[in-house]
A and B are shown apart, each in its own frame.
Chain A
Amino acid sequence: PASNLGLEDIIRKALMGNLEE
């Protein structure tokens, strides 16, 4: 479902990036 893809996208991006930087 689209909503789950949305969640996965956010997770993948957050796993790769670093909010603290």
Chain B
Amino acid sequence: TLSQEQQALLSFIVDAYNKHRIPQDMAKKLLQEHFNAEENFMLLTDMATSHVQVLVEFTKNIPGFQALDHEDQIALLKGSAVEAMFLRSAQVFTRKMPHGHTEVLEDRIRKSGISEEFITPMFNFYKSIGELHMLPEEHALLTAITILTPERPYVKDQAAVERLQDPMLEVLQKFCCLQHSSEPQHFARLLGRLTELRTLNHHHAEMLASWRMS
């Protein structure tokens, strides 16, 4: 079972994760209005900006984060922002949405000028997250674990980051054992998705480069 301290940490992270979401009016725009490819791209860019702001607010609530060296805080957020965004988007895509919404969202992304070679791995990732049937607690913890990755470029005090990440990993492992007792590999599979996220992050960097070219 989770210790009292671990339960408190879990509740805190889940609350912070649920509290910090993309503003509803912006999310609604994705479904309601029609845009041409360029406007579509601009909307997705605004979404990404809002996503980063929300991510920073969530991260500030992770116990101990604000006590880290300020430049290390920035290095962690810079290194993980794209991965955390993909995780959150995967959660949106695997959630049961009203009829037709998934298609509208998918269509919008496909018509944003992003080339197919980048879109396919992204939707494959969403699918692989969907197959895990992750609980909201697992999404919140996995996002915190992604952000608190000590091996990001320019992080000076990796040991300090590890001291924050380790308890999260322990809580996630215990939570997985408790909630998925019939699937002993569940925790390992979750960690495997972090490797996929790293690959997507690299794809994303290439995608930005190709956008700049065009």
For the side of the interface on A, what is the size category? 10 to 19
Contact with A along B50-79 (1 / 0, CB 8 A): 001110110010000000001001100110
B77: chain A residues at CB < 8 Å are 11, 15
B60: chain A residues at CB < 8 Å are 15
With known contacts A1-B208, A3-B208, A10–B49 Cβ distance under 8 A: yes
Q: Which residue of chain B is the closest to A20 with respect to CB atoms?
A: B57
Total A-B contacts with CB atoms under 8 angstroms apart? 38
For the side of the interface on B, what is the size category? 10 to 19
Beyond the given pairs A7-B78, A10-B56, A11-B56, 16 more chain A to chain B contacts, judged by CB atoms under 8 angstroms and listed by A's residue number, are A1-B209, A1-B212, A2-B212, A3-B208, A8-B78, A10-B53, A11-B77, A14-B53, A14-B56, A14-B57, A15-B56, A15-B60, A15-B70, A18-B57, A19-B53, A19-B54
B56: chain A residues at CB < 8 Å are 10-11, 14-15
